Amino acid sequence: MRRIELGFLQISDTAKANVAEALNNNRLSTGKFIQEFERLFAAAHGCKHAIFCNSGTSALQIALAALKEKYNWADGDEVLVPALTFIASSNIILQNNLKPVFVDADPVYYNIDPLQIERHITPRTRAIIPVHLFGQSCDMDPIRAIAKKRNLKILEDSCETMFARYKNEWVGSMGDLACFSTYVAHLLVTGVGGLVTTNSDELALMSRSIMAHGRDSIYLTIDDDDNLKDNQALRRIIERRFSFVRMGYSFRGTELEGALGVAAMQSKDAMIARRRENGRILTEKLKSLEEYLQLPKILPGAEHSFMMFPVVLKPGLDRGAFLDYLETNGIETRYLMPLLSQPYYRERFGPIENDYPAAKHLSGQGFYIGCHQGLKTEDLDYIAHVFAEYFRHAKLPA
């Protein structure tokens, strides 16, 4: 039986050579590969800085901590986050001693609904975290207009979206800071890993420091005390290199992930082009089933990188039965980002799902399947065939 997996991994010859070189360099802490990966990744997203760390969650945690410090937020201040997202988008608010305030999802595009944001703003609201889910940017113009009017900061959670534009601006470049994930089954994969991007020199430096235990930014890589021109400079470094100026974490990555990242940048355009084409073909092939399925829509003016292919079953159809059938036929699935119904969130926030009807519907009836560059025409034909067979005999509930 054919297997249609959610993710795809192909370690290129360049990746293998880069990893071998990193090992031969006898260097695991930040060096040429991480630095090169950061440079390439920042440039690809129209950003001045990218900071590589050990996960997307770490990136988000660092970025929010940097904003909290810079703008002097108090514990318990509020941050808006969509009611439909991966749990890390919201956990990092709690981990920073801030309060997540949930905003309903857009029922058509699945990202945070800009029309629902303002009613959740209070005198303690400090920031919005728009999450670019499944490969597509949020509708950033209205979000930025609200943020400007109400003096809120923007932290983009772009862990699921890379190399995609919204009206000619890159995801990752539209807020104060943004975060990406390079975890397995994401777009550009390094195994574990994440990046913070920003155009602010100050936030970049703070992020690096927070990533490395809150260390004085005079010494953030082991090269920073090499090639100093005079003794005074050396003395200054010796005095400050073991100095910790803020609360921090140990979230650095290694040269091995950097080596994979540099190699993956070479094939990013082909990877994204193939995903876009797969997304287009699948949408086309499943169109005749729109009576039963809500298919992904591309926001006008936006590009979709199709990290996944989200599908929402029409109300009344039995998602459990359909997913059992897909998995039995080799098509791997996941639920569409349920957040408020997670056991921990229910316990912590109570039964608040009914306050978010769009997120409740999407997470109750939605799921996603793979849309990656490893899928060939025959795989897409197979998916369309398996879906069609199920609905050939289905009846919509009255």
Footprint on this chain of ligand PLP (rule: CB under 6 A): 55-57, 85-86, 88-89, 131, 157, 159-160, 181, 183, 194
Nearest CB to ligand PLP, comparing residues 252 and 289:
252
Nearer to ligand PLP, 19 or 131 (CB): 131
157/176 with CB nearer ligand PLP: 157
Taking the complex as a whole, the smallest distance from the CB of residue 57 to ligand PLP amounts, in Å, to: 3
- Please report the sign of the dihedral spanned by the C-alpha atoms of residue 351, residue 352, residue 356, residue 357: positive
DSSP of 269-325, one letter per residue? HHHHHHHHHHHHHHHHHHGGGTTTEEPP-PPTTB-B--SEEEEEEPTTS-HHHHHHH
The DSSP annotation for 91-121 comes to HHHHHTT-EEEEEPBPTTT-SB-GGGTGGG-
How many C-alpha atoms does 254 have within 13 Å on its Cβ side?
A: 11
Tokens of 306: 């199709």
Helix axes 255-266, 13-24, angle to 10 degrees: 150
End-to-end Cα separation, the chain, in angstroms:
35
- CB 90 to ligand PLP: min, Å: 9
| CB-nearer residue toward ligand PLP: 289 or 307 | 307
Nearer Cβ to ligand PLP (73/86): 86
Instruction: Name 366's bridge partners.
Output: 312
CB of 92 to ligand PLP, least distance (A): 8
Dihedral pair phi/psi, residue 169, rounded to 5°: -110, 145
What residue is closest to ligand PLP based on CB?
56
Q: How far apart are the C-alpha atoms of 100 and 112, rounded to whole Å?
A: 14
Nearest CA to 133 out of 319, 5, 309 is that of: 309
Q: Closest distance between ligand PLP and the C-beta of residue 130, in Å?
A: 11
The whole-angstrom separation of Cα 371 and Cα 388 is 18
Least distance to ligand PLP from the beta carbon of 162, Å?
12
Give min distance, CB of 179 to ligand PLP, in A. Answer: 7
CB of 297 to ligand PLP, least distance (A): 19
Of 88 and 212, the one with the shorter C-beta distance to ligand PLP is 88
**Which one, 56 or 172, has the nearer CB to ligand PLP?**
56
